[in-house]
Structure 1
Amino acid sequence: MPQNDRQRERRPRAPSPHPDGLRERKKRETRQLISNIATELFKERGFEHVTVDDVAAAADVSKVTVFNYFPRKEDLFFDRSDDVQKLLRDALDSRGRRAPVAALRALAHTLVEQRHGFVKMTPGIAGFWKVVADSPALRARARELSDEVERDLGRMLAASASAPEGDPLARLVAALLVGTWRVAFREALRRQRSARAAISPEPFLELLERGFTAASAAARGSAYV
């Protein structure tokens, strides 16, 4: 073998670029595919009439794979609950000199301006929540997720103000803000079902503003405002 060829033979092969990143992307894509297929099945047949076996067969994966990504059947439908906590955490972590409540208010306005999926009111979104309304299991899971967001937001607020984790004022502010979002969202859904088309975000924002005003008044004189 010529010298140059021997040198090339001994030279280690370069590793594949970003192998971990590629694997993670594939996992995200598989997870999203399973969730999308499950959501369509739930819309077509109703949540209680679709099994995890049905989802696995439609997605061409094993039942074990489905449970690897979604420990509960309900989580196939509510597949973005972790995104809520991330949005809240990022808003508080990057708030700079703004007060915590002001940072969350800015986040709410940004989501509305961007027509983010969490606030965009379209016939498809209304259809999604109709599946929830028709399913006792999904309604129960939705309440659990709302409680989880409220609890976690209270902890995040307390941490952002260097207050004890169980600070009752942080819990109060969190309850007011999560309750406000829930009322505003339900009202937007009601309007959407009547309109049968995308609706203006103005009434949604107006209710949110009232809620943020109430939260700011409740936390007056504290590090939260």
Structure 2
Amino acid sequence: MSGLRERKKERTRQALSDIAVALFLEKGFDAVSVAEVAAAAEVSKPTLFRYFPAKEDLVLHRFADHEDEPARVVAAAREAGAVPLDALRDHVLAGLERRDPVTGLNDDPRVLAFLRLLYGTPALVARMHAYQGRSEELLADALGGADPLAARLAAAQVVAVLRVLAEENVRRITAGERVEEVLPGAVAATRRAFAGLGEGLSSFC
């Protein structure tokens, strides 16, 4: 029964997020109140806040599954006896190839509208940095090692690289370039970035 309850809660959470994002895309994030989202979803504000502690989380929910992604990739690589940094690089390259929105390389009109909302709203950018901070913590734990500070520094560098690569793709796509035009440069930038990481993080990755 607990699994059923969790699935029901996740469906509700997704529905609330979808309603909120639709309103934000139509009117702008700052122009829509939490009360308006709750009314559109036909729930009370306290109910809404039980699912989403902050207004920004209604949008960032779409990235929630990616929060521990680098840590999961590293853990799987270590279990398989692979090089973690190589696994992370290949994971990003695969994401570019399949046009994963988290890489910023997607020009579907709906995805593009969402990315413009996300990167064009200061409050959402700030909240996204908080998500990335938790991603760093999880990745540092996955990297492990005898020196926790060194693991944190390594994780911070990896997450910063992922962020900058995605932001550059978003910048080019939202400026009007097509995915096919951006992809070769995005792949080359990813390979260069991870090669640079490899030189400084060889003891961890």
TM category (shorter chain) comes to 0.7 to 0.9
Question: Which consecutive unaligned segments of at least 5 residues does structure 2 have?
Answer: none
In the alignment, which of 105, 113, 116 is matched to residue 89 of structure 2? 105
Partner of 1:78: 60
Whole-Å Cα distance in 2 between the matches of residues 143 and 109 of structure 1? 22
Q: Deviations over 1:59-95 (max 9, x none)?
A: 1222122111111111011003431233223212221
Query: What is the identity, as a one-letter code, of the residue corresponding to 1:90?
Result: R
Equivalent of 1:121 in 101, 106, 124: 106
Q: CA deviation at 1:111?
A: 2.2
Question: What TM-score results when the alignment is normalised by the length of structure 1?
Answer: 0.78
d(CA) in 2 for partners of 1:140, 1:130: 15
What is the aligned partner in structure 1 of residue 148 from structure 2? 165
* Distance in 1 of aligned mates of 2:34 and 2:99: 32
Q: Which has the higher contact order (CA 8 A, sep 6+)?
A: 2
- 1:9 corresponds to which residue? none
In the alignment, residue 61 of structure 2 is paired with which amino acid?
D
Tell me, yes or no, if the aligned pair for 1:56 and 1:66 is still in contact at 8 Å: yes
Larger fraction in helix = 2
- How do 1:10-159 residues align onto structure 2 when only pairs under 5 Å count? 19-95=1-77, 96-119=80-103, 120-122=105-107, 123-157=109-143, 159=144
Q: TM-score, normalised by structure 2?
A: 0.85
Structure ID, larger Rg:
1
- RMSD value over aligned CA atoms? 2.2
Does the CA contact (< 8 Å) of 1:180 and 1:207 recur in 2? no
Q: Deviations over 1:75-121 (max 9, x none)?
A: 01100343123322321222111122122122212322333331241
Residues 183-194 of structure 1 mapped to structure 2, 5 A cutoff: 183-194=164-175
Counterpart residue identity of residue 24, structure 1? E
Shift of 1:196: 6.2
Contact 1:176 1:211 in 2 (8 A): no
Return the alpha-carbon distance in structure 2 between the equivalents of residues 198 and 60 of structure 1.
38
**Aligned partner of 1:204: which letter?**
A
* Percent identity between the two aligned chains: 35
Correspondence for 1:217 among 179, 199, 203: 199
- Give the drift of 1:133: 4.1
Please list every run of at least 4 consecutive aligned residues from structure 1 whose deviation after the TM superposition is greater than 6 angstroms.
none
User: Out of 178, 182, 185, which is 2:159 matched to?
Assistant: 178
Name the CA distance, whole Å, in 2 between partners of 1:117 and 1:189: 9
Return the alpha-carbon distance in structure 1 between the equivalents of residues 20 and 12 of structure 2.
Answer: 12
Cα distance in 1, alignment partners of residues 88 and 146 from structure 2: 18
